[in-house]
Amino acid sequence: MSEAMPQSDPSVYRLGRGPALVAVGAFLIAAGLLVFAGFLLAGDTPVRIAATAVVGVLALGSVAMAARFAWRPPMLIRLDAEGFTVGRPRARAAWKQVEDVAIESGFLVLSGDDTARIELRLLEPADRRRLAREVYDRLNTAYGYRRFA
């Protein structure tokens, strides 16, 4: 039987490579379309110059977001000794506030005062089972439950 993970260190589960690369591709396509629109808008009137500048800034922002998703994908959930934090939509709760945990239709659902849903397909396949195990272990620790020896 596997041992429980150490509960003192926080664990962060981020968007998996597949969904992150889809987002990178979408941001780069948007940047390309914005650059194309910038060339179409280019001209010598002040309005066209301003529009081209705005489109250029949007294209740079899109490239920056693509780089962010490529090098550091967004956090889906963070687990620590006190509780958990879900990235989007933003939710935070202590372990003692969790009343029920279930895996329903591909979502890890943490119910209590509020309900937090984490879409498991957005995680790396190896992290899905590890996340579920760690949630259960942290809940058991918070409530003082131990495994039979």
- Please report the pLDDT score of residue 139 as a whole number: 87
- Please report the pLDDT score of residue 68 as a whole number: 94
Structural contact between residues 48 and 42, judged by C-beta atoms closer than 8 angstroms = yes
- Please report the pLDDT score of residue 8 as a whole number: 63
Report the alpha-carbon angle 74-66-28, nearest 5.
145
| Separation of alpha carbons 2 and 134, rounded Å | 11
- Please report the pLDDT score of residue 130 as a whole number: 92
Structural contact between residues 39 and 100, judged by C-beta atoms closer than 8 angstroms = no
Enter the pTM of the model: 0.77
Domain ranges of the chain: 11-15+75-142, 17-71
**pLDDT band (50, 70, 90) for residue 94:** confident
- Please report the pLDDT score of residue 140 as a whole number: 86
Q: 51-77: per-residue pLDDT in tens?
A: 999 999 999 999 999 999 999 999 999
CATH topology of domain 11-15+75-142: PH-domain like (2.30.29)
Q: 31-56: per-residue pLDDT in tens?
A: 999 999 999 988 889 999 999 999 99
- Pair of tokens at residue 130: 């590890």
Mean pLDDT of 88-92: 82
